[in-house]
Chain A
């Protein structure tokens, strides 16, 4: 089993749609959680951190369920510019902090 698993994608949605990404992690000792965005041929960039209380940043909402070891990202009112790969990222203390990436979910937003 992979340490971090994401929806396989790709997701093809029209502008204005709401899209949800899911992610599960296997290490119960994981301590920090993030969603990153990666555009083609570019390095990943932080989209938002994920907290147990849930957090929202404009059209983006992230949720963490530690009991289920599950993370989600919701994008409302999708824009063309949201087209990218979204990476679920988990930092686990495995004798040193290690950052593990999910395989990513590709999102295509179409006009």
Chain B
């Protein structure tokens, strides 16, 4: 089946630094990818929709200048958490669906556990 690879799987960083997370669709093209955040014992919350070749669409309450999204190709989207703070510590997951395939399931990356100290 289709695979989405996310890297890194975990990262620990100091407050004030930036962290980049990559999401790749390995055997299909995805003009749109999605970035989610999940705090402990809570559901996945959509942060933003990453659009290939154009600006990302952010959900209400998500700071676009803090969570930079780049979707430069049909198989790669990146999320950069800038000037990270301890409250940004969370589980970040990306997902992608095969472009234009109505009814297709969403495939998820393995997730990135970010800890800001």
Chain A contact residues, CB within 8 Å of chain B: 31-32, 34, 41-46, 49, 87, 89, 91, 96-104
Contact = CB atoms under 8 A, between A and B. Distances in A.
Nearest to A2: B43
B111 A99 contact: no
A49 B109 contact: no
Contact of B97 (A44, A97, A103): A97
Interface residues of B, number: 24
B80 interface: no
A98 B36 CA distance: 12
Contacts of B102: 31-32, 97
Given A96-B49, A99-B34, A42 B106 contact: no
Majority-rule SS of A interface residues? strand
A100 B36 CA distance: 10
Nearest to B113: A41
Interface string B95-113: 1010000111110111101
Given A46-B105, A97-B32, A102-B43, 11 more contacts: A42-B111, A43-B93, A43-B109, A46-B106, A49-B105, A87-B43, A87-B44, A91-B97, A97-B102, A99-B46, A104-B43
Contacts of A103: 42-43
B73 interface: no
A45 B103 CA distance: 16
